[in-house]
Structures are given as C-alpha cells and as structure tokens.
Amino acid sequence: MREVAIIGVGMNKWGELWEKSLRDIYVEAALAAIKDAGVDTVDGMYVGAMTPGLFVGQEHIGSLFADYLGIKNLPTTRVESACASGGVALKSAFLEIASGFSDIVIAGGVEKMTDCSGDDATYALATAADQEYEAFHGATFPGLYAMMARRHMHEYGTTQEQLAHVAVKNHKNGSKNPNAQYPFEVTVDGVLNSVMVADPLHILDCSPITDGAACVVMADLETAKKICKKPIVKVLGFGHATDAIALHSRKSLTRLDATILAAERAYKMAGKKPEDIDFAEVHDCFTIAEIMVIEDLGFFEKGKGGTGAESGETHIGGRIPINPSGGLKSKGHPVGATGVAQAIEVTKQLRGEAGDRQIKGAKTALTQNMGGSGGSTVVHIMEVL
C-alpha cells in the first residue's frame, strides 16, 4: 500500500451564504485547493454531502460538481455518513491513492443548509438519527445530546460551567479564524444565560446551521515530493467504525464506542498513541460531544474530560489543544464539509500557516469526525515530514 499525503487545501468563509449556490460554494473551495496544490489535473474526486436532496433538492452532485469544476468525465463519487461524510470522503480518497489506482485525488465536502426553513433543516438533520424510535417521537439532536450530557453529569459530576468552558475556548480560537461563521468570543456567564435549547444545553452549547465547503488535494507520497513546495503532511493512518444508531441500543450514554474503536484502529495503523498527538480537531457538535470525545480518544481519563477546557489543558498552549480552528461551535458545521475542514486545519497547523492560532512545534495531529449522535466515526492521524 502506497503512502499518501495532503498537498493542497481550500475552504471558503462559512456562514449564511445567500448569494452562492451549492455548486458555487463547492467549486470555490475545490479551485482553491487545486491552486494551493499547484496541480493542473486530478484523477478522481470524492465529495462528502449528508443530504443535499433535502436541503436544496439536488442529488447526483458528483456529475454536477465535476462539470462546474471544468473537469467533465472526472470519476466523482458522493459519500454519505451523516455528519461524518467529509471524513469518510477523505478516507475514500486515501484508499484510492494507497491502492495505486490513482495518483492525485480531491477529497471534498459541502452542505448548503440555510436555503430551507428551520423546520426543514431540523427534519433533514434528524435523518441521521433513528427515524422510527427517535425522530418519530420528537427526539432531535439537541435532545439526544442533552440526555448524554445529563448522564455524564450524573455519573462523573460534570457541570454546566464545564460545558460552557468548551464553548468559550472554541469561540476564542474561532475569533482568530477568518473563515469562521461566528468569529467572536463568548463568556461562561454568556453561555449559561443564553437560551435553553434542551436542558442542560443552551444555544451557545450547540453548533450552528451553516453553508460551506472544504476540499483537500491528496497524492501518493512520491508524487507529493515532486510537486510540493510546502511542507508535506502525510496521512499516517485512519480508523472507521459504527455503533447502534439509537441511544437506547447502546451499552452506555457516556461513551462513544464508534469513536473508541475508530481511534484504536487509527493509532494502530499510524503506530502512535494518544500521548504522541500534539493537538486534535474533534467533532464538537455540542459542548458535551467534545468532552466525551476527548475521553474516548484517550486524551483524558473517563469522566475527566469536563476539566479540559476549564483547566486550560485543551487551550492553545495547553497539554493537548483541541479545536484550534474554533471547532464546529465557532467555525460552523456544514455537515458534509466538517470532516474535510478538520483536515485543512491540521494541514495549516502542521505547515505553520495558522496565523494567530498557530500551535508552536506541532508535528503530529488527529481529526475525529462523527455522524449523528455517534453512530459513525472516522479518525485520521497526520504528521508533517
């Protein structure tokens, strides 16, 4: 199996992009990635998109994007794994290159979520939950994660203040990210006094509805060394796993087994351990998600994740910086694009291109992207050469 690297990245500013269509958003990010890579041809493309049919009525996006990108007949595949669609697109591109079938492949992600009503967006997102046993009975994702938060509080003493510290930390990071949807800082009191969505989660504990796209260009390592004029970011390994989609079918509400298994597989493939990771981009769709994920990745003992942001350990400059991009919470969460945007932040950090949010001396990083309430997870580990 050939070694694989990321050689180009492209992303637009995320938010409510009323003046741009789904195809405009994607092509903008893809062209930026191609320009950054310095290539004039690619062999294939994978696009993560959760449900463009429900958001904007457009399916068959592989054909659409290849056409509007100006590369007709390009083999292009849409990838879907709910909010982990972008991460699985990255994995798919990796495998195509590693197998020797292609040398240069785009891995992208996109979602246009604000062109429909709030009710329609909620319905579209709820398709990532169990339709018969959760969504039918009115359990939206804030409600599902609220149950996970309450159980975590009950078992481990996690507090609402600790949840709020996650939001404060991620907004502080996002305030330094020019592509973030909400690049402003918040306070613990501001989070705790914001509108309650599903007890104990306030609106500032929740990631937003977002339009946006993100793309990376990947190549086999030999080709990357010939092309790259910037530091090469090698993908050391990945892990992918699923779990029961419905919370009631899981052994515990306070652990994400798909994340645990995906991480174990990624660490094994990469030959790394949690203590070898300098920083991570994780799926903080809700503040409780970040707390549970950093425990399940092995960065914190189970039940101790709530202290991470509160103590400063997960801040830039801390023991294990988490979400230097601002995460889903501040950067935004166009669901199909999130996993690829995580890889972009890692690439920029490892290249030393992250500006005011740069993590000094970072060499090895991890991304964790999950779908729904943790029904699927993909983890990638990357290192700068």
Report the catalytic residues: 83, 333
Tell me the pairing of strands 364-371 and 279-281: parallel
Give the whole-angstrom CA distance, residue 355 versus residue 178.
Answer: 10
Give the whole-angstrom CA distance, residue 86 versus residue 71.
Answer: 21
Q: 3-class SS at 3? A: coil
Q: Are 297 and 280 in contact (CB under 8 A)?
A: yes
Distances (CA, A) of 104 to 48, 101, 307, 351, 359: 17, 10, 42, 20, 29
Q: Are 48 and 79 in contact (CB under 8 A)?
A: yes
Q: Are 4 and 95 in contact (CB under 8 A)?
A: no
Q: Are 147 and 247 in contact (CB under 8 A)?
A: yes
Give the whole-angstrom CA distance, residue 294 versus residue 304.
Answer: 9
Q: What's the per-residue H, E or C state across 314-378?
A: CCCCCCCCECCCCHHHHHCCCCCCHHHHHHHHHHHHHHCCCHHHCCCCCCEEEEEEEECCCCEEE
Tokens 């090469």 belong to which residue?
232
Chain-centroid distance, C-alpha 57: 24
Give the whole-angstrom CA distance, residue 280 versus residue 294.
Answer: 9
